[in-house]
Structure 1
Amino acid sequence: MAKKVLQLCLSDGKGGMELYIDRIIEDLKEDGWDTIGICLQKSKVEEYMQRNNVPYKAFKSNFYAVANILSVRRWLIKENINIIHCHKSSDLRLTTLLAFLIPGLKVFYTDHVGGQRPKKGPYHRLAYAQIDRVISISQATYRRNVRNLPVPSQHIICLPHGVDINKYRPCNDGKITCAKREALGIPADATLIGLPGRVTPGKGQDVWVKALLELDPQLNFHAISIGGTDSSSGGVDSFYESLQTLIAGSPLANKITFLGHRNDLTEILPALDIVCIPSKNEAFGLTIIEAMACGMPIIGSNTGSLPELVDSASGLLVDPHDISAWREAITTMIRDAPKRQIMGHAARRRVEQQFSNKQHVKRLTDIYSASV
């Protein structure tokens, strides 16, 4: 069997789903799989396709992709593609038609969102009937998929994401972490609290900021947000502005910094002391296992997929809406450096054992291979 797959993602977003395409292409290549792609023009996915030097077709919109179905069919036959892996529910319009036009085509769909609403109308029954397997990225989304999709439960597989544990790893060189903090303008002796993720309401930066503003001013800490703050970098401008209004004039304003989008996350994460993930309904949370792989103890929400990722040995889980609970959890972690270190070591071990990219791609390629 030719080890070749089409990665299809007609998304113009800038989040974890799109970033997954970038990572899985690289991981599949290392495992001996060739990839081609279909994406939207001028999207992050197109950028990732170009960076990974894979053959691809880019369209103006989902409509244009469907309108060019016959040329796509010819291309796939020429490329000897019999496996499609799609990543957005609207991609199913194209895969449904292709499944009718190319006998024996196998379609896999990773649900990166795990929506709460049932999808069992005539269109969804037709579209999902062409899928060989639905891949859920967490137990939380698996349960939703079983409940909400018109797919037999035996055709739904839970496959958590993985992270490159060689790329994301602790830094045991104090000089390097001190230099990174200095470059960021962070006092060397402060307990450094980080929140990685785009600045959007669903990520919970509002609860985080409110909890930080209630901390004892005598505590020696600094907090940084690492992620896009405007629409061009995946953030929400108005939400970011509302956070700045909250912070302005506070006695703790000089202890909270929004870095915006960064390309050096692998260097910033190991320089932190605590990572906060206050997301209200995280489908998986790739940044969580990235931080854990870097040896970071986690303070996270007790909802969505987070309880699957963070156990009692590697972090604290609290209600995503409870500002007082967040304040107390952050205070506890700031004051207990030995506990942070123990939890950080446990977090690293947990990722090594359960969430490495090698484990993920092995299971994924087994799913591909079993279908043909």
Structure 2
Amino acid sequence: MSNVEVIAPNFKRKLSGVTSTIIQLVPLQRAQGLKIVTMGPGLPADLPSIGWSALPGLWFKPKNRPFRIWHARRNNEMIAGILMRHVLRMRLRLLFTSAAQRDHRPFTKWLIRRMNAVIATSGKSGSYLKVPHTVILHGIDTELFHPPRNDDDRFAASGLPGRYLVGCSGRIRPSKGTDLFVDAMINLLPHYPEWTAVMTGRTTAEFKGFEQTLRDRIAKAGLEDRILFLGEVPDVRPWYRRMTLYVAPSRNEGFGLTPLEAMASQTAVVASDAGAYAEMIEPGTGTVVPAGDGRALEQALAPYLADPAMCEEAGKLALAHVHQNFPLQKEAGRIGEVYERLFAAGLKS
């Protein structure tokens, strides 16, 4: 404990986007020289971590810092930090990362006001905060998500009809806009016979009826062989690389990484303005439409389906854009700058 500078708690056993963020960031942060550990369930065994038995060490400052930073990402983690700092008087400063794109409940606002610093994962989420904050958008691992490299990354490996693939990824449900994608494909694909559409993602029990309704629409249009539900695929990354065009039609999102994953795969993107999508996509790298507007989505998709070369050019620009602005290392570095500002402020106080 004497060397630990930052603690990243994870007070949720089930895998979530927050958990995934911690799993990806902590090894990079340690590689950048930060002495950070995790705490809580649902994390890989190879991540450096501490248990509850280590908490008495928080009454003592670390070897080379005036205090430790408790980096919370959920309400229950903020509560724990407040109890340890303000009730138990442990040597901590509190940092919260907010991804919510809605007005916070009064209790959450109360918790946030007791943080020493706040990070927002997008400008949109930051607009709901009533405290000073730093906007740091998520990044992605550009080694894991990359352009096609071999035959398995090409459309032909899919075994699907046509020459070009358009797709979306995510759970099959209204909030993800799956129906908007299906309706657009039903209207567009008859005009573009070289294209096939796929959806990757799981359908939970409560949305089986929703999926069946979409399947019925597809069957009525006679497009069962060209608009396909692939279910939860073992690895979505090759599918990004096989796609010529990726669609993110969500009605609402917390942040939403799939457009970045597709762009890092050199795939053009059409997305709604849900989540942080509009903050990821620049002119030339793709197109953004109003969330929930099926007509606008269809109109945005048509030029790409009509001109695959347009997709190819947008994909190249998207790849360069992601590598410059959204590598995971950049996110880790900017979070590190927030940590250092907190440590520096502690030395002055």
* TM-score class, shorter: 0.7 to 0.9
Is 1:229 aligned to 2:203, yes or no?
yes
User: Using the alignment, how far apart are the partners of 2:8 and 2:213 within structure 1?
Assistant: 38
Match of 2:242 among 271, 274, 290: 271
Return 303-312 or 273-282, whichever deviates more: 303-312
Aligned residues with identical type, % of pairs: 22
**Is the partner of 2:188 in helix, strand or coil?**
coil
Is 1:170 aligned to 2:147, yes or no?
yes
User: Using the alignment, how far apart are the partners of 2:306 and 2:116 within structure 1?
Assistant: 51
Deviation at 1:138, TM superposition (A): 0.7
1:49–1:56 Cα contact (<8 Å) kept:
no
Deviation at 1:195, TM superposition (A): 0.7
User: Using the alignment, how far apart are the partners of 1:120 and 1:133 within structure 2?
Assistant: 18
Query: Under a length normalisation based on structure 2, what TM-score does the superposition of the two structures give?
Result: 0.86
Q: Per-residue CA shift, 1:121-172, capped at 9, x if unaligned?
A: 5x742x22431111101111111123xxxx3x2xx11000111222212115
Unaligned 5+ runs, structure 1: 41-45, 58-67
Q: Cα distance 1:348–1:158, how it changes in 2: closer, same or farther (>3 A)?
A: same
Is 1:73 aligned to 2:73, yes or no?
no
Q: What is aligned with 2:323? A: 352
Return 27-36 or 162-171, whichever deviates more: 27-36
Deviation at 1:216, TM superposition (A): 4.0
Match of 1:190 among 144, 163, 176: 163
**Is the partner of 1:371 in helix, strand or coil?**
helix
User: Using the alignment, how far apart are the partners of 1:24 and 1:358 within structure 2?
Assistant: 8
Q: Cα distance 1:102–1:238, how it changes in 2: closer, same or farther (>3 A)?
A: farther
**Is the partner of 2:324 in helix, strand or coil?**
helix
Match of 1:160 among 137, 142, 146: 137
**Is the partner of 1:326 in helix, strand or coil?**
helix
Query: Under a length normalisation based on structure 1, what TM-score does the superposition of the two structures give?
Result: 0.81
The one-letter code sitting in structure 1 at the alignment partner of 2:95 is F
Is 1:53 aligned to 2:35, yes or no?
no
**Is the partner of 1:222 in helix, strand or coil?**
strand
**Is the partner of 1:214 in helix, strand or coil?**
helix
2:7–2:37 Cα contact (<8 Å) kept:
yes
What does residue range 1-372 of structure 1 map to in structure 2 within 5 Å? Answer: 2=3, 4-40=5-41, 46=42, 48-50=43-45, 52-57=46-51, 71=53, 73-74=55-56, 76=58, 80=62, 82-100=68-86, 101-114=88-101, 116-120=102-106, 124-125=109-110, 127-146=111-130, 151=131, 153=132, 156-173=133-150, 175-178=151-154, 181-182=156-157, 184-187=158-161, 189-219=162-192, 220-230=194-204, 236-372=207-343
Q: Cα distance 1:303–1:340, how it changes in 2: closer, same or farther (>3 A)?
A: same
Unaligned 5+ runs, structure 2: 344-349
Q: Which runs of 4+ in 1 moved over 6 A?
A: none
User: Using the alignment, how far apart are the partners of 1:246 and 1:120 within structure 2?
Assistant: 43
**Is the partner of 1:307 in helix, strand or coil?**
helix
1:177–1:270 Cα contact (<8 Å) kept:
yes
RMSD between aligned alpha carbons? 2.7
User: Using the alignment, how far apart are the partners of 1:300 and 1:278 within structure 2?
Assistant: 6
1:49–1:55 Cα contact (<8 Å) kept:
no
Q: Per-residue CA shift, 1:208-229, capped at 9, x if unaligned?
A: 1111112242522111212222
User: Using the alignment, how far apart are the partners of 1:222 and 1:215 within structure 2?
Assistant: 11
The one-letter code sitting in structure 1 at the alignment partner of 2:55 is R
Q: Cα distance 1:194–1:368, how it changes in 2: closer, same or farther (>3 A)?
A: same
